[in-house]
Structure 1
C-alpha cells in the first residue's frame, strides 16, 4: 500500500510575511495535504503570533489548486456544531472540495477554558464529543436540522447547498480510547493518532511501534463491531510526538526508515511539521524538502 506524505503548517506567520508562501510551497513540493492546528494558542507558541485556523485555511484554498487542506484537529473546546458546520461548508466550497476535517475530543490547556468555562473532566469531554460529532455529521448532510442534546442542540439550522464533497466532507477522527474509536469507526473516513503520549519522554521507538500497533488493533475491533472493514479507513500519523521526535527529519534515509516501519503497520498517511526555527519543530528546510519530494517514491507513493 502506498503512503501519502503531508505537512502541518502552524499559523504563526502573518499571511503577507511568509504565511502564504508556505502553503504555496507545500503544493509545489507535491505534498498530499497541508493541515493546521485548530487552537487559539498552543504550548510553547502561546506568547507569540498565532492566527485562526479556518480563515488561514480559506486563504490557503484561494492560493492553491490541488493541495488538500484540513485541521489537525478541531475539538469542542471552543467550537459549536451549528456554527462550525456553516464555516466548513463555506470552506469546502471555496477550496473546490479539498477540505478534510480532523476532529477529536480535545484536551486540557488554554483552549479548554478560554471561553470562561470550567475545565471538563475526561468523562464530560467524551460525553460532549459523543454529541458533537453526530450532530455535526447531520448538519453537514441535511438541509435543515433540529436536534436537542444535553450539551449541543440545533433548531432549524439550515445548511444549503451542503458540501461540495458528497455526502459530506471527510472526517479524520483523532481517538485512542474506546468511545472515541467507536465514533471513528462509525463516522470517520480516516483515523488520526500521534502515538502513545506516555512513551514520549522515556519510551523507545520500538515500544512506540508496538503501542500504535495496539491502537490499530483496537480500531479494527471497533470497526468490526460497527460492521465495517477497518481497511476502509485511512490511517494518519501526526509525527513529532513519538520517542523518535525530530530525528526522522534529520535525513532522507532516517525518514524513509521511520515511515516504512509505520507503513508496515497499515498507515496510509504521515504528517510532518513544517520546520519552524528555534522551536520544538526546528528542522533543516532543505532536508525537509528533500524528504517531501523523494521519500514518497521510495515508499511506493
Structure 2
C-alpha cells in the first residue's frame, strides 16, 4: 500500500487525509475484495516520510476481515523493543491474528542519517536488531522478562498480554550473490528468529539458490525448512509498452529514492516485472516454480488503482 506515495503526492494535510482514505484504506479493502491474501506497508521514520506502519495496519484491520497484514519491511531497531512488542501484539489482537512482521535494518546514507537522528549507531544495527527480536519474542510469550544484553537491560518487564497466535517474522535481505552466503547478522536472524524470508532484488534462480542456503542454515541449527515461509518483494508496472513501463518506474524511483543515481533499464528490470501483463505473469510463474509462496507486489507508479485493476486477473 502506498503510504509513502500518499505523502509524496499530497500538497497539504487535507490532500493527505483524502489520499490516505482512498489510496491506503480504500485500496486495502479493494485488494481484499479482489482476492489478494495479504496487504503490506513499508516503514521509515525520517529518511522517507510516510505513515507509521503498525498504526496504519491497525486502521486497515478495522477496514478488512480476513486479509493478512504485513510489514515490508519494518525497521524495529529505530524503536525500543518493548514498544515494538507492545504495538505488534496490539495489532495482532485487533486484527484477530493477521499480523505478519517483515523486518530489516535499512541501507543508504539517508537511512544512516535517520539512525543518527534517533540516537542509534548505524554500524551496530544488525546485531542490535537480533537482540531486540530476542526480547520481543520473549515478551510475546506472556511472561515477565529479565534480560541483560549488550544493548538492552530489562527487569521484570511484561506487556501484560500475548498476540493471538505466533506472529511470523520474515527476515528481509537485499540482493547479493547467494553463493557467497548471507551476512553473519542475517544468518543469525534467519536461524534464530526467522519464520520466513522476504528478499528484494532476487531473480527466480537466485531465489532458489538463496533458499537452498537458508535450508542448510536451518538444518545446522536443528530446524526444518519445511514450514519456513517463502516470500519476495517485487516491483511491478503493467504497460503494453515495456519502455514506457520502465520509464514510469524510473520516474517513481527518482522521486522515492532521491539519493539514488539514475538507474539503467537493466537495473530497473532486475527489480521486478515491467511491461505487458503477460510478462508479469511469466515472472510470477517463474518465482512460483522457484518455490515462492507469497509475492508482495509494489506498483512503482502513481496510478495505483489502475494497476490494481489490471493486475487483478493474476490473483488467485
1:273 matches 2:271: no
Is the CA contact 2:39–2:69 (under 8 Å) kept in the aligned structure 1?
yes
How do residues 192-231 of structure 1 correspond to structure 2 at under 5 angstroms?
Answer: 192-196=198-202, 208-231=203-226
Is the CA contact 1:34–1:70 (under 8 Å) kept in the aligned structure 2?
yes
Aligned to 2:75: 75
Change (3 A) 1:125 1:296: same
Is the CA contact 2:147–2:154 (under 8 Å) kept in the aligned structure 1?
yes
Post-superposition offset of 1:93: 1.0
1:179 matches 2:177: no
Distance 2:41 2:119 in 1: 25
Aligned to 1:191: 197
Aligned to 2:100: 100
Is the CA contact 1:224–1:230 (under 8 Å) kept in the aligned structure 2?
yes
CA RMSD of aligned residues (A): 2.5
Q: Deviations over 1:190-241 (max 9, x none)?
A: 1110035xxxxxxxxxxx3443333212111111112222231111110129
Change (3 A) 1:284 1:11: closer
Give unmatched runs, 5+ long, in structure 1.
1-7, 197-207, 278-282
Aligned to 1:34: 39
Change (3 A) 1:9 1:287: closer
Distance 2:85 2:225 in 1: 27
TM-score by structure 2 length?
0.75
Post-superposition offset of 1:111: 4.2
Post-superposition offset of 1:246: 7.1
Per the alignment, in what secondary structure is the counterpart of residue 117 of structure 1? coil
Q: Deviations over 1:117-163 (max 9, x none)?
A: 36522xx2222122112111111113311101111232222122211
Change (3 A) 1:99 1:119: same
Question: Stretches of 4+ moved more than 6 A in 1?
Answer: none
Q: Deviations over 1:78-131 (max 9, x none)?
A: 11211111111111111111111111233344444433436522xx22221221
Q: Which moved more, 1:170-179 or 1:184-193?
A: 170-179
Aligned to 1:205: none
Q: Which moved more, 1:91-100 or 1:72-81?
A: 72-81
Aligned to 1:9: 2
Per the alignment, in what secondary structure is the counterpart of residue 86 of structure 1? helix
Distance 1:249 1:42 in 2: 26
If asked which structure has higher relative contact order (CA below 8 Å, sep 6+), I would say 1
Aligned to 2:308: 288
Give the aligned length.
264
TM-score by structure 1 length?
0.78
Aligned to 1:20: 25
Aligned to 1:117: 119
Change (3 A) 1:155 1:38: farther
Distance 2:131 2:121 in 1: 18
Aligned to 2:250: none
Distance 2:159 2:77 in 1: 23
Change (3 A) 1:127 1:90: same
How do residues 154-169 of structure 1 correspond to structure 2 at under 5 angstroms?
Answer: 154-165=154-165, 168-169=166-167
Is the CA contact 1:38–1:72 (under 8 Å) kept in the aligned structure 2?
yes
Distance 1:247 1:170 in 2: 25
Per the alignment, in what secondary structure is the counterpart of residue 240 of structure 1? strand
Change (3 A) 1:214 1:146: same
Per the alignment, in what secondary structure is the counterpart of residue 145 of structure 2? strand
Choose between structure 1 and 2: higher helix proportion: 2
Is the CA contact 1:11–1:36 (under 8 Å) kept in the aligned structure 2?
no
